Structure 1
Amino acid sequence: MSAHGPMPRSAWLFPALAVLLFLIVTATGYGFTVSVGGFVFAVVLLVILFGTVFAAVHHSEVIAERIGEPYGTLLLTLAVTIIEVALITTIMLGDKPAPELARDTVFAVVMIVCNGLVGLCVLIGGLRYREQGFQVSGANVYLSVLFVLATMTLIMPNYTLTTPGPVFSALQLGFVDLVTIVLYGVFLYTQMVLHRDYFVHESEGGEGGAGHLSANMLVLSIVLLLISLGAVVLLAKKFSVVVDAVAVMIGAPPAFAGLVVALLILMPEGVSAIAAARKNDLQKSINLALGSSLATIGLTIPAVGIATYALDQPLVLGLNPQNTALLFLTFLLSMLTFGTGRTNVLFGLVHMVVFAVYVFMVFVP
């Protein structure tokens, strides 16, 4: 999507429909049931919810073109993360507690982004342009912070002694939340102030689209972005009920809910990353992909940790050995892919194979 040209109808229609649906459901007190009517409601809900998420991302991109890189991709990432936190917290603290959902969703985001999305972007770019370039210094910053945060939050809980099992004690969780927020904050300062040039490839020239967006359009996009995010948060509860019902119907494993949430929140951002790769702007694809992984861990884990602590709910974070092996494989592969500043088709294909293994193991562990 672009800031140029008239605003597409879907950019304001879906947020309006989302707010209208929430008002109708609240006024009527409708509760989802497994029936023909429930199936129709689920389809309508998912269509409106997906449309509203895409609308939120569109308005983020409109604003992003005004403020330039890397602020634009950062804004897009933060918008998606707000949606993610709302969905995870609502489902975790719903009628059917899901203490593993935050872990499953964060791990799913890392696998989808670092293998599925990165692999697809590199593969598409390689097929069209043979090789694509990017800033190695920026990729290294992303990966160094991502590896540390992922290890602290998804692996360390399995090896702590204060509490048994894949959980942190309250004090440990508070410390990890604090360190995570501090480290992510320093990363943002590095990205936006200290080394902004690390995240803008030479071919982009570091320029945004400031001269092409009117002030009225900017204000309208900001308002509609806030409405879109609010509507997704309001509909998150109903979405959680539908996900639980579908999981029971198809006999899906517990990790299925985390995969669905991750796919929902990453789909519009993924479309933006793929479009950038098709335009030979792999740097933007990397900013979106790796930035979303960092934001997921750096913001979601502390937010969910605070919510579960305040409500005295359990929070399971440690991965099982199988997923731990996949995470380390992703780390190693990412270092090789982003180590030279040039990518090709083979790198993309290898990432997609690892992603296929992850999806298969969700259903056949």
Structure 2
Amino acid sequence: MRAKLFYLGLIASFIASGALHYLHADSTLQFVVSCAAIIFVAGFLGKATESVAHYAGERLGGFLNATFGNAAELIIAIFLVRDGLFDMVKASLTGSIIGNLLLVLGLSVLAGGLKFKEQTFNVKLASHNASLMFLAIIALVIPAVFSRSFTIKETNMLSIFVAALLIIAYLLWLLFSMVTHKTELADQVVAGHAEEEHPAWSAKLSVFLLLLATVMTALVSEWLVGTVHEFSAQFGLSELFIGAFLIAIIGNAAEHSAAVFLALKNKMGAAVEIAVGSSLQIALFVAPVLVIASWMMGNPMDLVFTFYELAAITVAVLIAKSISQDGQSNWYEGVLLLVVYLILGIAFFLV
């Protein structure tokens, strides 16, 4: 009965959100209905991801969730880049990185820690993730520092080279973690703790529903983002706050729920892969792809982020590394991550 109500709500909210968008209804009403639709679609994506993870393993399942979740954001960002809204794009990228490291990981660790006293995941994977996060910081700091002495042409050239190197590094990381060192970075499951369940869907159906949920997420996210500017104007929200927090939270809603659901089932390895893996994918792949795509469009975007954005990303990486480096988590560590996220949120709001 509960499942039927969920799918009824999913279909109804999705149709209502689309109808309001194409009928150009009141922006506030569109925003509220689209938020409701995102919640249902996120739950649907979480179920599909969990089912795929059962067949493919937690790491691959988490990677697929992060990839499909970021695909929607990448599509939206490409349209923003095309229109030359570079500041909004960089703010939303910043929000996605800190949102996944602090909000998604924080909620997952808190929720899982309240149900299980202590949860574990692969410590070697956590160490490699930390190194990759520091690589992301270095790749963002260098262009920002050297741009003070460079011309616009030189800054764009440096950004393109850095973007290409980051994409290569990310692809090699996938080869390293999924192929050559797959066993060493395999999921850790504590006997007697994980809840073994048989998925309701077959492997092929799970993959199809994951693709369907991703398409629905992309559509609802686009409808929702289209109402953000008018909605924010009514409440006096700044562009930096909109890009770094509002759009980022909306765009990553699916990953939020999926990671929390997996943590509640003591599948912390998959939850960490979604949260941290998604941040790495944004920093090492999505942002570089946008730089190269903008260059191909003839309107190049550089990798020069503002001081506030760099500070926020650095703080998020430091606290996430400190908490995840031992391969164990508890509910209080989730609280710490969420506190840092709230501090940054207040700071961005005031800016």
Q: What's the TM-score once normalised by structure 1's chain length?
A: 0.80
The amino acid of 2:253's aligned partner reads M
1:35-50 alignment to 2 at 5 Å? 37-50=26-39
Q: Which residue of 1 aligns with 2:101?
A: 114
Q: Report the CA distance between 1:155 and its aligned residue.
A: 2.2
Q: Is the 8 A contact 1:70 1:191 kept in 2?
A: no
Residue 170 of structure 1 is matched in structure 2 by: 156
Deviation at 1:231, TM superposition (A): 4.2
Structure 2: runs of 5 or more not aligned: none
Asked if structure 1 preserves the Cα contact closer than 8 Å seen for 2:38 and 2:253, the reply is no
**1:345-356 alignment, distance < 5 Å:** 345-356=331-342
From the superposition, tell whether residues 14 and 358 of structure 1 become closer, same or farther in structure 2 (CA, over 3 Å). same
- 1:137 maps to what in 2? 124
CA apart distance, 1:141: 1.1
Alignment of 1:192-207 (within 5 A): 192-197=178-183, 198-203=185-190
Q: Residue 222 of structure 1 is aligned with which of 184, 196, 207?
A: 207
1:333 and 1:21 map into 2 onto residues whose CA distance is 37
Return 128-137 or 187-196, whichever deviates more: 128-137
Give % identity: 20
Give the secondary-structure state (helix, strand or coil) at the position aligned to 1:103: helix
Counterpart in 2 of 1:340? Answer: 326
Given the superposition, is the C-alpha separation of residues 130 and 57 from structure 1 closer, same or farther in structure 2, using an over 3 Å criterion? closer
Query: Take 2:208 and 2:16, find their aligned partners in 1: how far apart are those partners?
Result: 17
Conserved? CA contact 2:6–2:40, under 8 Å: yes
- Cα deviation code 1:275-310 (max 9, x no counterpart): 333333332221221111112223311332233223
Q: Of 249, 260, 263, which aligns to 2:234?
A: 249
1:86-97 to 2 correspondences below 5 Å? 86-94=75-83, 97=84
**Cα distance, 1:49–1:277 mapped onto 2, change above 3 Å:** closer
Partner of 2:237, secondary structure, is: coil
The RMSD of aligned alpha carbons is 3.5
User: Structure 1, residues 127-186: CA drift from partner, whole Å, max 9, x if none?
Assistant: 44443322210101111112202331x322211247458x97332232122111111111
Aligned partners of 2:17 and 2:223 also within 8 Å: no
In structure 2, how many angstroms separate the alpha carbons of the residues matched to 1:200 and 1:72? 11
Q: CA separation in 2, counterparts of 1:234 and 1:337? A: 35
> Do 1:60 and 1:79's aligned partners in 2 also have CA atoms closer than 8 Å?
no
2: CA distance between counterparts of 1:90 and 1:340?
40
TM normalised by structure 2 equals 0.82
Aligned partner of 1:66: which letter? Y
In structure 1, give the amino acid aligned to 2:187: V
Amino acid at match of 2:215: G
Is residue 181 from structure 1 mapped to residue 170 from structure 2 by the alignment? no
**Gap change, CA 1:49 and 1:344, over 3 Å in 2:** closer
Pick the aligned partner of 1:64 from 53, 61, 66: 53
Q: Which amino acid aligns with 2:94?
A: F
Which amino acid letter does the alignment assign opposite residue 48 of structure 1? A
1:65/1:208 contact within 8 Å kept: no
Task: Provide structure 1 residue ranges, at least 5 long, that are not aligned to the other structure.
Answer: none
- Deviations 1:70-92, CA, capped at 9 Å, x for gaps: 21111111110111112222344
8 Å CA contact 2:136, 2:283 repeated in 1:
yes
Q: d(CA) in 1 for partners of 2:129 and 2:177?
A: 9
Corresponding position of 2:92 = 105
Residue aligning to 1:160: 146
- Number of matched pairs: 347
